[in-house]
Amino acid sequence: MKIICIGRNYTDHISELQNEKPEDPVIFLKPDTSILLKNQPFFIPDFSDQVHYEVEVLVKIKKVGKHIQEKFAYKYYDQIGLGIDFTARDLQQKLKEKALPWEKAKAFDGAAVIGEKWLSIDEVSDINMLNFRLEKNGETVQKGDTGMMLWKIDELIAYVSQFFTLKIGDIIFTGTPSGVGRVMPEDKLTGFIEDKQIFSIQIK
Ligand code: ZN
């Protein structure tokens, strides 16, 4: 399986990082080795002093597809989840300055948190009006609403499937809202969609 990540999909996060609003979605990949193993803590890697959390809504692909039209995109998923796109911000900044790819900052082992709990589409009233949030040590640090996405889930599926064949089990990370921040050892991160807890992880 592969993980396809969308960057800069919320205007407030774009201004937070002083990025330009892109004409097309920014896409990058994470390998399956970046998935944080179930019930394991996240260990801050020693190549970064500034690992940031980015809470993101996830979509799990259930059908093989290429060149999917937006109007048919809904047929390719029926589960919505939540995860964290861990980012070594200091490293990413250096790579960005040199216009180099971001993999070292985004695709390292453990950099993809995939919440254990998935919600079926029938459980949510409208995927384009979903509230989600991240708590750090019990305090809300990021709050989002899928209604604030620059590119909606179906548009993203249409867009990314122009480049990559989507396969069963692939996961799309749909981008983060504002409020990204640094993690420190002993932090606890808990993610929610609406009032449902989707994941809880310990930082070491
Ligand atoms: Zn992200």
Give domain limits for the chain: 3-202
For residue 75, the CA-to-ligand 1 centroid distance in Å is 25
For the segment 111-136, what is each residue's pLDDT rounded down to a tens digit? 999 999 999 999 988 999 999 999 99
For residue 199, the CA-to-ligand 1 centroid distance in Å is 17
The DSSP bridge pattern shows strands 181-182 and 139-145 to be: unpaired
Q: Which fold has domain 3-202?
A: Fumarylacetoacetate hydrolase; domain 2 (3.90.850)
For residue 171, the CA-to-ligand 1 centroid distance in Å is 13
Q: Write the burial class of residue 17 (CB in 10 Å: 0-12 exposed, 13-18 middle, 19+ buried).
A: middle
Average pLDDT in the chain:
95
For residue 64, the CA-to-ligand 1 centroid distance in Å is 24
Instruction: Tell me the one-letter amino acid at 105.
Output: A
Q: Write the burial class of residue 145 (CB in 10 Å: 0-12 exposed, 13-18 middle, 19+ buried).
A: middle
For residue 47, the CA-to-ligand 1 centroid distance in Å is 19
For residue 8, the CA-to-ligand 1 centroid distance in Å is 8
Please tell me the pTM assigned to this model: 0.95
Map residue 19 onto helix, strand or coil: coil
Task: Name the band, by pLDDT with cuts 50, 70 and 90, for residue 176.
Answer: very high
Map residue 108 onto helix, strand or coil: coil
